[in-house]
Chains A and B, each alone.
Chain A
Amino acid sequence: MKVYRTHTLTITNFVSHYPKQIICFFTLALVIATLFFGQHIAENVQDIWRLLTGQAAPYQSIVVWQWRASRLFAALVIGAALGISGAVFQSLVRNPLGSPDITGFNVGAFTGVLLSIALFGNLYWFSVLGAILGGLFSALLVYIFAYRDGHSGFRLIIVGIAISATLSAFNQWLILSVSLETAMTAALWGAGTLNGITWVRILPAAVLIAAFILCAFLLNTRMKLLEMGDDTAAALGVSVNKTRLTLMFVGVALTAVATAITGPIAFIALAAPQIAKRLENSASTSLGSSALVGGLLLLSADFIAQHSWEGSTLPVGLITVSLGGIYLVFLIIREGRK
């Protein structure tokens, strides 16, 4: 009988015992930093207290509660949506590469947004609907082209990458062929950014995202059973096809709504579930931790985007793509060794 060391307090041990607490701690620290740091906003704890209790001057209040808080809230919600979307797809495909930003569902969603802008102008709900339809359409394309006596996870991913590249090219063409003004909005958006987020923009999307996240949590048990193979899940009384289609819809919708608000942000959906899994040191990725890690990742990426370049703000998508590139190389090498 093996004896496991359980009480040695090393950092790895500590992390794997309290993964959620640690993520929450870092998130909280970052939230405080994002909200209150900076000259003329809050110089000491008293200033922060005044802001919290609503006794601060109008200028500070507006900066913190209207501009910064909405952006921060958006980063957390969108990050959580992407994290859960990634966890759902990685579970469905049974492969850590099977995330919606690799298989191009976010590019498809962005195609939908672009088409809706080109056809109907820059209207909120049209963009959201366009994103969902675009995401579902690209998912359908991948599904059809990858079909050969059933679906292997790996083929879905390869076909997804191909569809994603095709749709990117189509998006470029769309941007080039619309009016200059629309093109500029779209191009800026295409990098994925939290600039210009307001409460009015993020709140309705947040409600939608919350609803889809709830669906994902309700299907969590079935999703885990599906990981054991279709036959095993079916034998346990899971309606395999119905469950898989619903999960795909939820996963696509989460990515799509996020994309409608911020444009395509890569890497979060890919990395969050895997990071969560390693932090928890557990068998399967939990949706809750994936959401938390996703939120924290996007928040920190946005923090870097806002503060790394003196005087201007980079699109957060740029940061996540650069970090994601490194992570992807690491992941491919690791999977290749198996």
Chain B
Amino acid sequence: MTATVTEIQQNKSNDPDYQALPELSLSTQSVTLGYDQTIITNNLSVDIPEGKFSIIVGPNGCGKSTLLRALSRLLPPKSGQVRLNGQDIHTLPTREVAKILGLLPQSAIAPDGIKVVDLVARGRFPHQKWFQPWREQDQIAVESAMKATGIMEFAQHHVDQLSGGQKQRVWVAMALAQETPLLLLDEPTTYLDIAHQIELMDLFQDLNRLQGHTMVAVLHDLNHACRYADNLIAMKEGKIITSGAPKDVVTEALIEDVFGLPCMILEDPVSGTPLIIPKGRQVSLSDKL
């Protein structure tokens, strides 16, 4: 597994089309986050490692989506700072931030009857100036985003005609057309069937490993998180319990502590990563025999 990654990374430097992305850092410095009177997390500090695929997991209401909203500057912290490349993200012009940081939000509304290619093209907004016509580089960005997400054949279709999995890929393509070195994904696989979930996660992994995007995702499925994350961030009640490579940090005790779920941990026969088997109250194998 590690060997293949290194191989790919070596290939990257040989590839003449590969351009090194600029230095990148995103972190929160003891932020307090919440809505109106409700405080969700207090004094939270987290570093997003550059070039890695970080996945945030935790039970409902633990503040993982809130953290992602704060990282993507959608939610201003009540205290503390979110820092992008060393600067307070809220002091930077939002359009400049949009050239560095892309987000796939949970609640995107596709305008009635819009075509796929037109929706993807909207991702170019931060790169366009007033009165600037559509440039060749915009066209190239849109096309390569559609190619990367495999939606080229639907380019002229209406978004509302597509299936859930295809639609989600269109939104990913829009975020990719934004050409940001950093991509944040808020529960990107929710509402998709298992095949589409895996397909999308593979796509994200490719974006991370082949194109060098730094990725942060909030995910519900622990096993997917363990399989795809370079850096797993486990949250509970607004605090980060642990973070690190899934192999190093995921234990039965951790899952019991974070999710309150008794479980067994096996090695995923496909990826070699931890595979979580919930025990639950169901009849066990020994009872059946």
Contacts and interface: CB of A to CB of B under 8 A. Distances in A.
Contacts of A237: 94-99, 125-126
B114 interface: yes
B103 interface: yes
A172 to B, nearest CB: 39
Contact of A228 (B97, B106, B108, B115): B108
Contact of B122 (A229, A236, A239, A282): A236
A284 B178 CA distance: 22
Interface string B104-121: 011111111111001000
A228 B102 contact: no
A234 B74 contact: yes
A236 B111 CA distance: 16
Interface residues of B, number: 30
A228 B119 CA distance: 10
A321 interface: no
Contacts of B114: 283-284
A239 B93 CA distance: 9
A91 to B, nearest CB: 9
Contacts of B111: 224, 227-228, 283-284
Nearest to B159: A283
Interface string A16-44: 00000000000000000000000000000
Contacts of A282: 113
Contacts of B115: 283
A232 B105 CA distance: 6
A225 interface: yes
Given A235-B105, A236-B98, A228 B122 contact: yes
Nearest to B104: A235
A264 to B, nearest CB: 29
B258 to A, nearest CB: 27
B214 to A, nearest CB: 16
Contact of B74 (A94, A221, A225, A231): A231
B246 interface: no
B110 A234 contact: no
A48 interface: no
A229 B74 contact: no
A229 B103 CA distance: 13
Contacts of A221: 125
B117 to A, nearest CB: 12
A94 B109 contact: yes
Interface in A244-283: 282-283
Given A237-B94, A283-B111, A283-B113, A225 B105 contact: no
B123 interface: yes
Contacts, number: 65
B72 interface: yes
Contacts of B97: 237
- From DSSP, what is the main secondary structure of chain A's interface residues? loop
A314 interface: no
Interface string A204-245: 000000000000001001001101110110111111000000
Give chain A's interface residue range (CB within 8 Å of chain B).
Answer: 10 to 19
A123 to B, nearest CB: 37
Contact of B72 (A94, A225, A235, A238): A235
A221 B121 CA distance: 12
A231 B178 CA distance: 15
Contacts of B98: 235-237
Interface string A70-84: 000000000000000
Contacts of B103: 231, 235
Interface string B156-184: 00000000000000000001001000000
B113 A238 contact: no
A311 to B, nearest CB: 47
B94 A224 contact: no
B108 A231 contact: yes
Nearest to B127: A237
A232 B243 CA distance: 28
Contacts of A235: 72, 74, 98, 102-103, 105, 175
Interface string B122-153: 11011000100000000000000000000000
Contacts of A283: 111-115, 118
Interface of B: 72-74, 94-99, 102-103, 105-115, 118, 122-123, 125-126, 130, 175, 178
Closest 8 CB pairs of A and B: A237-B98, A237-B95, A235-B103, A231-B105, A237-B126, A283-B113, A283-B114, A232-B108
25 contacts: A94-B109, A224-B111, A225-B125, A228-B110, A229-B107, A229-B108, A229-B109, A231-B74, A231-B103, A231-B106, A231-B107, A232-B105, A232-B108, A235-B72, A235-B103, A236-B122, A237-B96, A237-B97, A237-B126, A239-B94, A282-B113, A283-B113, A283-B118, A284-B112, A284-B114
Given A283-B115, A284-B114, 12 more contacts: A94-B109, A231-B106, A234-B73, A234-B74, A234-B94, A235-B74, A235-B98, A235-B102, A237-B94, A237-B125, A239-B94, A283-B111
